[in-house]
Amino acid sequence: MACSGGADSLALAAAAAWHHRRTTGPLADARVGAVVVDHHLHPDSVEVSGRAVRQLKDLGLGPVRIYPAHVDPESPHGPEAAARTGRYQAFRKAMGELGASRILLAHTRDDQAEQVLLGLARGSGTRSLAGIPASRGPFHRPLLQLSRGETEAICQYEGLDWWSDPANADPKYLRSRIRTEVMPLLQERLGESIRDALARTAQIAAADAEYLEAEAKEIFPTLLEDPDETGTLRLKLNPLRALAPAIRRRIIALAVVAAGGANPSFERLSAAETLVTGSRSAGPIQMEGEVSLHRGARGSTEYGKLVVVAPPLA
């Protein structure tokens, strides 16, 4: 499991240790350890990490290791995204070195509600409104039904000393403003149940998004011609045009990623969709990751196809 030294992750550690002590059968020999990621963004980070390690060991977890996270100060995506990238790189390194099969993360219902508001603020669509997934790959989040107050109560019961990160109240971070300014205002005006309502919205949106993505993945191969030696992909235009927009956009995104690009933003995806739905321009439209799209020219072998050009080989 991952631990920051905060109330949420220490509560998760206490719960993991409690369940592990009571585990019988084939899983009784499994190890439950912890990874403390130090971003080195706070002057007391070494002390905070050390205190977390001592408490994790006292709970009976092992192995317990500290891993540094590299945070790129020049990241174009901002400090929060850079810290997240560094954190997940540290997680994957820890999994490889320690032989872990999964990592538990301590996101709560409060985090989920804040994530839905972030998605609304960014206009990022159903997947963003779906919030934080309960599980994805090796990462699992068993506390999404608990509130932040409940994790603090668990720590108090267990006698754990948690750390409150001052960055969580720093207004220069969007998530912090949502936590300390927007959410309290919504609770005041709309009632205490707003957090539960937002978390429930995430649960509903997640189910919808998963269905749409599964449909898109099933249809995608039926529209796809075999890529050539350059990795360029070609999708049949007419059947792509006939699909519902929600499926069509997801298939275009799948093609961009399959060609070696990054998952496209809504703006670029919308521009790409115009090539399918009848724009006078045939492109090209540039996507993230040096992938470009264009509509095949009349009279060419690519006519009637959406062409997704892979990045040039190094």
Q: In whole numbers, what is the pLDDT of the chain averaged over residues?
A: 89
Which pTM does this prediction carry?
Answer: 0.81
The least confident of 30-34, 105-109, 150-154, 166-170 is: 166-170
Please report whether residue 91 resides in a domain.
Answer: yes
pLDDT at 78: 75
Q: Check whether residue 136 and residue 276 sit in a common domain.
A: no
What confidence tens digit (pLDDT) does each residue in 209-239 have? 899 999 999 999 999 987 666 778 999 999 9
The answer to whether residues 144 and 251 belong to one domain is no
Q: Which of 155-159, 183-187, 225-229 has the lowest mean pLDDT?
A: 225-229
Q: Is 7 among the annotated ligand-binding positions?
A: yes
Residue 124 counted as domain residue = no
Assess if residue 68 is contained within a domain. Answer: yes
Are 160 and 233 in a shared domain?
no
Q: Is 304 annotated as a binding residue?
A: no
Residue 14's domain comprises 2-106+131-170
DSSP the chain: -EE-SSHHHHHHHHHHHHHHHT--GGGGG----EEEEE---STTHHHHHHHHHHHHHHTT--SEEEEE----TT-TT-HHHHHHHHHHHHHHHHHHHHT-S-EE----HHHHHHHHHHHHHHT--HHHHT-S-SEETTEE-TTTTS-HHHHHHHHHHHT------GGGG-TTSHHHHIIIIIHHHHHHHH-TTHHHHHHHHHHHHHHHHHHHHHHHHHHHHHHEEPP-TT--EEEEHHHHHTS-HHHHHHHHHHHHHHTT-PPPPHHHHHHHHHHHHT-S----EE-GGG-EEEEBPTTSTTBTEEEEEPPPP-
164 and 299 within one domain: no
28 and 102 part of one domain: yes
Any known ligand binding at 6? yes
Residues 142 and 265 in one domain: no
> Would 41 be classed as within a structural domain?
yes
What's the average model confidence in pLDDT over 120-141?
84
CATH code at 24? Answer: 3.40.50.620
Same domain for 144 and 69: yes
Per the annotation, does 5 bind a ligand?
A: yes
* Number of domains composing the chain: 2
Does 114 map to a domain? Answer: no
Do 93 and 159 share a domain, yes or no?
A: yes
- The reply, when asked if residue 81 is annotated as ligand binding, is no
